Amino acid sequence: MKFLNLAIFLVIFSFSYSQDPTDKPEPAGEEQAQSSGEEINGDAAHGYDLFQQSCIACHKIDGDMVGPPLRDVVARVKEEGGVGRQWLHDWIKDNNALRASGDKYANEVFEKYNKIPMLTFPNLSDQDIDDILAYTSDPEGGEKAFKEAKEKKAEESAAAAAPAESGSSTTGIVIFAYVFLALLLLFTLFRLNTLKKLLSGKTDVPAEDKPGFSLAQFIHKYNKAFNVLLAAFSLLALYGLWIFMFGIGVDKGYQPDQPIYFSHQVHAGVQGIDCQYCHSSAKYGKVSGIPSPNTCMNCHKMIKEYKGEYFEEDLVKNGKFASGDDVKNFYTGEIQKMYAAIGWDPDQAEYTGEQKPIEWVRIHNMPDFVYFSHEQHVVAGEKAILNAIKNKTIPNSKELNLPEDSQVCFACHGDVSKMDEVKMANDFTMGWCVECHRTTEVDMTNEYNSQYYADLHEKLKKEYGDHTKITVDAIGGLECAKCHY
């Protein structure tokens, strides 16, 4: 009975709570509601997706990054600060406002993490935040559910022969094409065979008796030559197939149109914005990530139109626009398009709440069985790669006068600061990874390597003398399991 009372109380309480969140209930009530655990009804799979988009730059599930680890954060903030769901919502939406309101725990957390301000997320809905919180309570489940749903979707789109976007759907289409070709070939061979049989049956008719030209006679006469020709054609077809198979997954030059014409040349080139300002997670983990709209708004709350000198002359040359001014107007239009997507009213300087996520088309995408980590290359491997650029052992590198932070990116992505639209600058195949690992000398002076490979280093020195080059393959860069799950 006690339990029933409590349940009724909770229902009423949470109702009044959602009616007016600013109307704080009595402290006693708050405690009771929280100690029995405010239910967070969220979709952990969607939460995983949002987390990857917005939070991964600064938070890990386990372990400190820029911000605290977020596994079971609901339980943790309750334990450490005695706060609950509403606090988390307020914090995530606008931690600045919450801190400014004098909230004690918010200020404690801020102090504890060296006063690094967290971004604000005014455009996340309450449901979005509940979804993220649900994910933090069950990270493994959320990730699994998300990936399963994604796979299902990919399968469906492969079945519908949708434009090839993900590796798996391309493979599907290719396999389908092969089966089709193989059947066609079998069918042709079969027909030829019948024709040949038919002809050999007819050989009792003296060929000379037939007047004029006959195909049958012709083939009969040149039977050997015909067979040779057939064999040659088959070989050619096989060769084509081989070349084609090798081309699978090689997307060098891939440059899709994006929903908003975002120019890297304007941002990274002309404005000199550091790559890692926007792709801030490269340092911390597997993915570089695409900046969330909030990152754009850090600047674009102020920058409402394009007033720069630079414009792409090619767009005028190829007749897309009549003049440079038209191109600049187009750029301004794209900024407005971004506002519309984010749900920002530039005149009123406020969020309208109406948003439509910007669906950037993913350009680089390794198959799921490949493990690639930016951190390994951008942090541990940074110096090695920069040295290799200087010594010109990395293919494709040019003379670059840009900050080192960016140069390391260019080793693989090409000079993005000169690309208006990003384009795949390398093959991104296994051969390409391995080639660089074979030729790039590891930087044995960095903290990580000098600790981990001290023994190896000594051994190699003894064996080959002091000037041995230790390339990435020597530390395991060619081991299958390092790159494959």
Restricting to residues 359-388, name those near ligand HEC by CB under 6 A: 360, 362-367, 370, 372, 374, 376-378, 380-381, 384-385
Give me the torsion for CA of 139, 140, 141, 142, rounded to 10°. Answer: 50
Q: Which of residues 321-340 bind ligand HEC (CB under 6 A)?
A: 331, 334-335, 338
The CA angle 403-405-406, to the nearest 5 degrees, is 75
Q: How far is the CB of 399 from ligand HEC (least distance, A)?
A: 16
Among 162, 199, 430, 456, binds ligand HEC (CB under 6 A): 430
Among 25, 247, 353, 476, binds ligand HEC (CB under 6 A): 476
Identify the three-state secondary structure at position 345. Answer: strand
Nearer to ligand HEC, 33 or 470 (CB): 470
Q: Which of residues 76-115 bind ligand HEC (CB under 6 A)?
A: 76-77, 88, 91-92, 95, 109-110, 113
- Mapping DSSP onto H, E and C, the string for 145-181 reads HHHHHHHHHHHHHHHCCCCCCCHHHHHHHHHHHHHHH
Q: Which of residues 119-158 bind ligand HEC (CB under 6 A)?
A: 119, 121, 132
CB-side neighbour CA atoms (13 Å) of 261: 15
* 149 close to 48: Cβ distance less than 8 angstroms: no
Q: What is the DSSP letter of 441?
A: B
* 370 close to 484: Cβ distance less than 8 angstroms: yes
Cα separation, 289 vs 280, whole angstroms: 7
User: The tokens of 36 are what?
Assistant: 């029995």
Where does this chain touch ligand HEC (CB under 6 A) — which range of 138-146, 231-239, 258-266, 312-320? Answer: 258-266
Nearer to ligand HEC, 33 or 385 (CB): 385
Q: How far is the CB of 45 from ligand HEC (least distance, A)?
A: 16
Nearer to ligand HEC, 22 or 114 (CB): 114
Q: Which of residues 274-303 bind ligand HEC (CB under 6 A)?
A: 275-279, 282, 287-291, 295-296, 298-300, 303
Nearer to ligand HEC, 32 or 336 (CB): 336
Identify the three-state secondary structure at position 458. Answer: helix
Where does this chain touch ligand HEC (CB under 6 A) — which range of 7-15, 141-149, 219-227, 425-433? Answer: 425-433
Nearer to ligand HEC, 6 or 478 (CB): 478
Asked if 475 interacts with ligand HEC (CB under 6 A), we say yes
Nearer to ligand HEC, 258 or 468 (CB): 258
Distances (CA, A) of 359 to 148, 258, 293, 297, 331: 20, 8, 11, 17, 18
Distances (CA, A) of 469 to 212, 378, 389, 427, 466: 76, 21, 16, 26, 9
Total residues interacting with ligand HEC, rule: CB under 6 A? 111
Where does this chain touch ligand HEC (CB under 6 A) — which range of 138-146, 158-166, 253-261, 315-323? Answer: 253-261
Q: How far is the CB of 28 from ligand HEC (least distance, A)?
A: 24
Nearer to ligand HEC, 216 or 329 (CB): 329
Nearer to ligand HEC, 120 or 217 (CB): 120
Q: Which of residues 179-208 bind ligand HEC (CB under 6 A)?
A: none
* 283 close to 459: Cβ distance less than 8 angstroms: no
Q: Which of residues 233-252 bind ligand HEC (CB under 6 A)?
A: 248-249
Q: How far is the CB of 485 from ligand HEC (least distance, A)?
A: 11
Q: Which of residues 35-74 bind ligand HEC (CB under 6 A)?
A: 54-55, 57-59, 66-68, 70, 73
Cα separation, 111 vs 105, whole angstroms: 10
Q: How far apart are the two ends of the chain, measured CA to CA in Å?
A: 53
Cα separation, 300 vs 336, whole angstroms: 10
Among 104, 461, 462, 484, binds ligand HEC (CB under 6 A): 484
* 449 close to 440: Cβ distance less than 8 angstroms: no
Of 151, 136, 152, 35, nearest to 88 by C-alpha is 136
Cα separation, 20 vs 13, whole angstroms: 11
User: The tokens of 91 are what?
Assistant: 């914090």
Among 25, 37, 117, 357, binds ligand HEC (CB under 6 A): 117
Nearer to ligand HEC, 69 or 141 (CB): 69
Q: How far is the CB of 78 from ligand HEC (least distance, A)?
A: 10
Q: Which of residues 442-461 bind ligand HEC (CB under 6 A)?
A: 442-443, 449
Nearer to ligand HEC, 139 or 249 (CB): 249
Distances (CA, A) of 202 to 205, 212, 214, 246: 6, 17, 13, 45
| Distance, C-alpha 165 to centroid of its chain | 12
Where does this chain touch ligand HEC (CB under 6 A) — which range of 9-17, 192-200, 209-217, 415-423? Answer: 415-423
